[in-house]
Structure 1
Amino acid sequence: MVDPAEKDASAAKVPGVAETSIFGFSLPEAMRAELEAAPKLSRSETTRRKLMIAAAELMQDSGFGGLKVADICKRANFAHGTFYLHWKDKSGVAHDVLSALMEAIRANRPQRRPSQSFYERLVDGHLYYIELYRRNIGLMRCQGQLADELDEFAAIGLKANLALAYRVLRAAEREAPSLADQPVAHRLAAALGCIAMVDKLLHDVFARGLNIGLSDRDLAATLSLSWHRVLLGQDPAPQVQ
């Protein structure tokens, strides 16, 4: 789940991923654009990035189960043995691709605008995440599937969600400083619950074809209102027209 509350200006740019707008990004497209725009790289690094792009494209199209080293090399136009100079098996490249996705989500979340309220930041973040999920549904499904099978993949999502939850809590405290007096564990559980709700809903929308009947803007506003009520205990102040 991407951070819908604030922009971490110190977030490191992920190699192979270009910065994007609020409307999200496709990881394979972003990695390819970054590689094309990068200054001269070593031959080894260029090869590694091309193999990662190929793996990301295949995972996006058909998931992890059907991923084969031979197919990655064929798509990247490298000899089969080249892959093993960088990873020992397909789990290794999948781990790096999904790690890059989580880092890119964090690094590219929308910037907070001057005088923007907590609710407005939530709306921007949810719009970003809705489009992000739409454009990376295959990779997002891989993350969930592999997290159920292997601890190393589960750790990627757990780390990202915990970091997000703490950032959201800090942003909520800036809106309502008295929240800091409440038990952290209770507020953390509430934030993680909000994150899980959005992940499950958007998975159902984009992976299972659930038709809610809302535009992206209306869905983002509805999710943001729910978060605001849960985290701050009240509705947002009326917006000045």
Structure 2
Amino acid sequence: MVAPAEPLPTELSPKARRTRASLVDAATEVFAKQQYLGTNVADIVSRAGVSHGTFYTYFDSKEDIFREVGLEMQRRFLAVRDEVPGPDEATLLERVEATNRSYLCVYQKNADLFAVIEQGATFNEELRKIRLEIRNGFVDRSEQAIARFQREGLVYDDLDARYVANALGSMVDRFAYVWLVLGEEFELEEAVRTLTLLWARALGVEAPPGTMPRKRKRRKRS
């Protein structure tokens, strides 16, 4: 499995770090708008307001900076996951709910870019690796958490944690894709509720009917 990206080299000066970050920000906007195949280095440097020489100081190619764009997205997923309440602050069910909510919210905010990554991964080996890196960063943490829950006797222990993390992670990930990229009509709160209950019941977390009641939608006045 591919490890998350390493931090920037410490020898970069603050100015160099800002320049590199501005290139990544510009690339993120251009890729989201023009798709992967429709983007070239000239588009990125024009959006960032720097020269080609500056671009090649930090990145080797369009593929290289796209990988960084993808890994930056991975960092966003992991950052919000780090904000999930700990065991002393919330029940296991509440923590599963918070994790699913954070994933869907980040996906929702970056749906255009995620569409580019998803599509590119089907025909480009480098983009496929980038897609896996984004996914693995999230699934790896789920695997570690599930294994810990199993050791503590909180969830079923007759399933392999790695397989469970991949299966349930794929469920959430594909749901987000169908909703936010393909355009199926879903609503955030009901999506979070449904995915959380499926996670909980698959793992053996106590979540009987009525545990997470549906929120009734207010009827619009005519």
TM-score range, shorter chain: 0.7 to 0.9
Which structure is larger by alpha-carbon Rg, 1 or 2?
2
Partner of 2:216: none
Determine which of 116, 122, 130 is the counterpart of 1:153.
130
Cα RMSD after superposing both structures? 3.0
The DSSP-based 3-state class of the residue aligned with 1:130 is helix
Aligned partners of 2:90, 2:177: CA distance in 1, in Å?
29
Aligned to 1:38: none
Question: Could you list the runs of 5+ residues in structure 2 that have no partner in the other structure?
Answer: 213-222
Unpaired segments of 5 or more residues in structure 1? 1-10, 16-40
Q: Which residue of 2 aligns with 1:223?
A: 195
Alignment of 1:132-151 (within 5 A): 132-148=106-122, 149-151=124-126
Alignment CA distance shift 1:133-1:177 (3 Å): closer
The answer on whether the counterparts of 1:13 and 1:107 sit within 8 Å (CA) in structure 2 is no
Q: Give the TM-score, by structure 1 length.
A: 0.71
After TM superposition, list the pairs within 5 Å mapping 1:47-196 onto structure 2: 47-109=19-81, 110-113=83-86, 114-148=88-122, 149-151=124-126, 152-170=129-147, 172-173=149-150, 176-177=153-154, 179-180=156-157, 182-184=158-160, 187-196=161-170
* Deviations 1:13-52 (CA, angstroms, capped at 9, x unpaired): 977xxxxxxxxxxxxxxxxxxxxxxxxx533222111111
Higher relative contact order (CA 8 A, sep 6+): 1
Give distance in 2, aligned partners of 1:73 and 1:178. Answer: 50
Cα deviation for residue 64 of structure 1 reads 1.5
Letter of the 1:112 counterpart: P
Cα separation, 2, equivalents of 1:12 and 1:207? 25
Q: d(CA) in 2 for partners of 1:239 and 1:174?
A: 25
Quote the offset at 1:12 in angstroms: 10
* CA shift in 2, pair 1:206/1:133, >3 Å: same
1:168–1:191 Cα contact (<8 Å) kept: no
Q: Distance in 2 between matches of 1:178 and 1:74?
A: 52
Fraction of identical pairs, as percent: 22
Residue 124 of structure 1 and its aligned partner are, at CA, apart by: 1.3
Structure 1 residue 77, shift from structure 2 partner:
0.6
117-126 or 229-238, which moves further after superposition?
229-238
Distance 1:92 1:173 in 2: 39
* Cα displacement string for residues 185-212 of structure 1 (whole angstroms, at most 9, x for unaligned residues): xx43232111111111111111121013
Residues 143 and 157 of structure 1 are in contact (CA less than 8 Å); yes or no, is this contact kept in structure 2? no
Cα distance between partner residues in 1 of 2:155 and 2:107 = 34
CA contact (8 A) 1:172 1:232 kept: no
Q: Distance in 2 between matches of 1:169 and 1:188?
A: 8
Distance 1:62 1:236 in 2: 46
Tell me the TM-score normalized by structure 2.
Answer: 0.77
